[in-house]
Amino acid sequence: MLFEPTVIEGMWKIRIERQTDERGSFGRIFCEDIFRERGLTARFLQISSSRTIKKGTIRGMHLQRSPSSEVKLVQCISGAIHDVVCDVRVNSPTYLAKAEIVLEESDDVLLYIPEGCLHGYQTLRPDSEVYYSISARYDPASACGVRYDDPTFDIKWPLTPVCLSDRDLSFPNYTNNFFGD
C-alpha cells in the first residue's frame, strides 16, 4: 500500500500495490499493523455498500458527530465518483479545506477519511458502487450533514445534479458552531 497525503490533515489517498501474473493480480487493501504504525484507526465496525443507479446523483455531505464520530475508508468498486471531503474540525490546521478526488473502479485507490470531516460524492457513471469501512456504528442521533451546494465549501460538482435525497436537500448550510461549540 502506498500512502499519499492530501490537502486535509489526517486524510490519505491509499494506492493498492498489486502483484501480477498470468492469473491476474493480488493486492492488499488493508493491514491492521500498517495502519497502526502510521497512527491511523485500524478497527472498523461496519462495512457498507452504496449502489447508485443514476449518473449525476449526489450523496452527501455527511458525518457523524461525537460520541459516534467515524473514520471512513472508501473505495469505488464499480463505476466512477467525484469524491469530496471537507474538514470541519475547528482545531485542525486544515479547517475548512476540501479535497476533491475522482475514484474509479480500475484505479485501485482508497480514501482514508478522518473523524470530523464531511464526506459526499457525485456519481460520474450509472450503476456506481462505493464500499465503506467505518470505525463506528451508525447512530441516527449523531448523523448530520451540510448542504451539497453550501457556499462555504464551493464544491465544483462536475455534472448537473440529477438526484438527491430529501434528507440531503434538507441539510443546513455550514456555520462555525456546527458542533455546538
- Which residues are the active-site residues? 62, 132
Our measurement of the distance from residue 169's CA atom to the centroid of its chain's CA atoms, rounded to an integer in Å, reads 19
Contact 50, 132 (CB under 8 A): yes
Q: State in Å, rounded, how far the first CA of the chain is from the last one.
A: 37
Strand residues in 1-79 grouped as ranges (E): 2-5, 12-15, 18-21, 24-27, 46-52, 58-64, 72-78
